[in-house]
Amino acid sequence: MTNIKIYDTTLRDGSQAEDVHFSTEDKVRIACRLDELGVHYIEGGWPASNPTDQKFFQEIKNYALKRARIAAFGSTHPAKKTPESDPNLQSIINAQTDVVTIFGKTWDVHVHDALRTTLERNLELIYNSLAYLRPKVKELFFDAEHFFDGFKTNKDFALACLKKAIEGGAEAVILCDTNGGTTPMELMEIIKEVKAGIKDIPFGIHTHNDSELAVANTLIAVDLGAVQVQGTINGYGERCGNANLCSIIPCLQLKMGIECIPEKNLSLLTSTAHYVAEIANLGAFHRQPFVGRSAFAHKGGIHVSAVRRNARTYEHIVPELVGNKQRILLSDLAGQSNILFKAKRYGFHLDKDDPFVLDLLSKLKNLESQGYEYSAAEASFELLLNRTLGRARKYFSLDSYRVLESKRGLEEEPLSEATVIVRVGGILEHTAASGKGPVNALDNSLRKALEKFYPALSEMHLVDFKVRVFSVNNTGNFSGTASKVRVLIESADRTSQWVTVGVSFNIIEASRQALEDSLNYKLFKDDQEKLTRAIKEAEKG
């Protein structure tokens, strides 16, 4: 297997995304996770640019990374200074990293308009900066900024910049598509010309995704001989983002037969992607290839039928190779295969001709036509499945509820109160509670009534609450404030998380349905766990 070095720049280039901000502590946690994944280099930031990056380089010295080397980033020295007098280069040296990456201008437009100097002086800046740093670091790379745009307008100058970088001591020159506008066809031809113009040039690739081509361009560069790949986890980065390592790594490893991280670590990819998304405080992108929640999700009945026989029919890799898993969704597109697959997952081995299957499928299609979304609320589906089979207990019934909202003054917060009458085993409980909003008040009131019967409900807590408005009614007209809403509630206890759904024209009623399902699911789940333990103990005895 050919070996490619992965250079992760999530902490520097990725943090330049408009909705991403990492603290020093965030950066340290991500760096440790990236090291566990097995990347070769972690670019920690630009020490001259901000205190957060400076603190990171100090703090990361306290951690014994197993594989990755930390890289500091910076620019060539200014035209009116020398390397020795440049604070930027001094801050890089003070960061005391084994690896340094310096970027320089390779597009004549930038030299004239941004640096406001001559092409000859720019070549001196590149050589002088690298030559000054060379004896002070173990590894030195040169990011040829805007290289592909520069090559298109003045190829001789762009090539001269690469030659000066190599003369200055760069171990590899990184060809950057900084504006993200280069097509794969252009990139291929340019790299071929670079290799013809500079023999045996060690080069890497750094692409941006402004044309949705960053991953494709990266793979082509590797195919043409790139030895280093730069990118970010989840493709975070300025504007439309950087090349997404969560796609590049499995493509290199599984599609091209090129080792870039230890083979056993590939299964950590999905959890790493989600971990970084959590720290960035961004929701995971469900439809992201390889690591997204929907990457191996199947909804159409024909697809599911085929996947049940042979997963390869609709899956280009085995999901577990990248730490993901196959998911079968339920919707009005679902067929009997979806039902059979889900039922088997929950321990029911049914035949396709079983009347129960047709009954459940009919109920499912009817409910989804009303707006219920069981592909997103699997706990509600599991309850529906078990209720249809007659396997779920009736833990309680909500006879009635009332929610009151009042506001006494313009400066005061609204007051929310909920009253419920709940029946448990023939016993009526009439309780009231307040809350921060009507849904919280209803939740508090239900718990207050039920926890004396089911103390385990105190372990539950709300994780997420989503409301979706259906703005178009069955006649195709916009309904405005009279629209139906779908409420998804994600709940959790000490061992697991689950999602339930409710639908109504009334947001409180939709929330009530989802809340009631959530409470029922907790009780049902606990019963199943007790039953499983009892069976295991009986088998031992």
The yes-or-no verdict on residue 387 having pLDDT over 90 is no
The yes-or-no verdict on residue 333 having pLDDT over 50 is no
Average pLDDT of the residues in 208-222: 98
Q: How far is CA 474 from CA 278, 369, 370, 471, in A?
A: 38, 10, 10, 10
pLDDT the model gives residue 102: 97
Share of the chain above pLDDT 70, in %: 89
pLDDT the model gives residue 501: 92
Residue of higher predicted confidence among 297 and 439 = 439
Rounded to two decimals, the pTM is 0.72
DSSP string computed for 238-267? STT-B-BHHHHHHIIIIIS--B-S-GGGGG
Domains and CATH numbers, the chain: 5-279 (3.20.20.70), 297-369 (no CATH)
Residues 216 and 228: their CA atoms lie apart, in Å, by 15
Residues 490 and 470: their CA atoms lie apart, in Å, by 20
Burial of 168-199, coded b for 16+ CB within 10 Å and e otherwise, reads bbbbbbbbbbbebebeeebbbebbeebeeebe
432: left (phi over 0), alpha (psi -120 to 50) or beta: beta
pLDDT the model gives residue 408: 80
The yes-or-no verdict on residue 238 having pLDDT over 70 is yes
The yes-or-no verdict on residue 440 having pLDDT over 60 is yes
